């Protein structure tokens, strides 16, 4: 009679600094980008776009070139939210789609190139601000 095999258990992996789960970072914004103009575009997609803009804005220095891309994306998302509250439907105009389709891939690329400590500090600052004030300033 042979000895039974041990059950396979994958070992937890600690990712080295500089390697991160790009799927978790990029997928919500990419899904929101693909949902623009579609009937299933909803408020969660707007939140994902705002989160991408907010993280880029928090990571970048004041004089960085990405700030010029970040602010129009955040303004467009604010317009979409305001119109959704007024009309009860979440939708986008052609000009808003153009701004988002041009800006969001640049923001994703910027976040992808950013170092992990900068992303961590930006996320921690947003988290602390939310729990201190009850709302997130963008």
pLDDT digits (tens, 9 = 90+) for 85-125: 999 988 899 999 999 999 999 999 999 899 888 888 898 88
The token duo for 124 is 């921690």
Q: How far is CA 23 from CA 34, 44, 122, in A?
A: 15, 17, 19
Q: Which helix (H) or strand (E) segment is 68 a member of?
A: helix 67-87
pLDDT band at 56 (very low <50, low <70, confident <90, very high): very high
Dist. CA 106–CA 101, nearest whole Å: 9
Residue 72 lies in a domain: yes
CA proximity to 103, closest of 29, 35, 40:
29
Does 83 fall in a domain? yes
The reply to whether 35 falls in a domain is: yes
**Considering the domain boundaries, does residue 63 fall inside one?**
yes
Residue 13 maps to a domain: no
pLDDT at position 18 is 53
Contacts 24+ apart (CB under 8 A), 44-49: 45/90, 46/77, 46/80, 46/81, 46/84, 46/90, 49/73, 49/77, 49/100, 49/104
pTM: 0.79
Confidence (pLDDT) at 137: 65
In this structure, is residue 59 part of a structural domain?
yes
Would you say residue 56 lies in a domain? yes
What is the domain range of residue 111?
Answer: 22-133
Total count of domains within the chain: 1
Tell me how far apart the alpha carbons of residues 133 and 122 are, in angstroms, rounded to a whole number: 16
Quick check: is 82 in a domain? yes
Residue (of 38, 28, 50) closest to 91 by Cα position: 38
Residue 130's pLDDT band (cuts 50, 70, 90): confident
């Amino acid at each position: 009679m042979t000895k039974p095999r041990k059950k396979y258990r994958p070992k937890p992996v600690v990712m080295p600094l500089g390697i991160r789960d790009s799927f978790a970072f990029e997928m919500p914004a990419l899904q929101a980008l693909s949902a623009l103009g579609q009937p299933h575009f909803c408020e969660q997609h707007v939140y994902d776009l705002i989160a991408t803009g907010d993280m880029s804005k928090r990571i970048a220095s004041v004089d960085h070139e990405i700030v010029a891309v970040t602010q129009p994306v955040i303004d467009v998302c604010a317009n979409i939210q305001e119109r959704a509250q007024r009309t009860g439907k979440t939708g986008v105009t052609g000009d808003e789609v153009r701004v988002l389709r041009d800006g969001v891939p640049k923001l994703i690329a910027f976040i992808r190139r950013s170092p992990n400590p900068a992303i961590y500090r930006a996320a921690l600052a947003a988290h602390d601000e939310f729990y201190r004030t009850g709302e997130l300033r963008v």
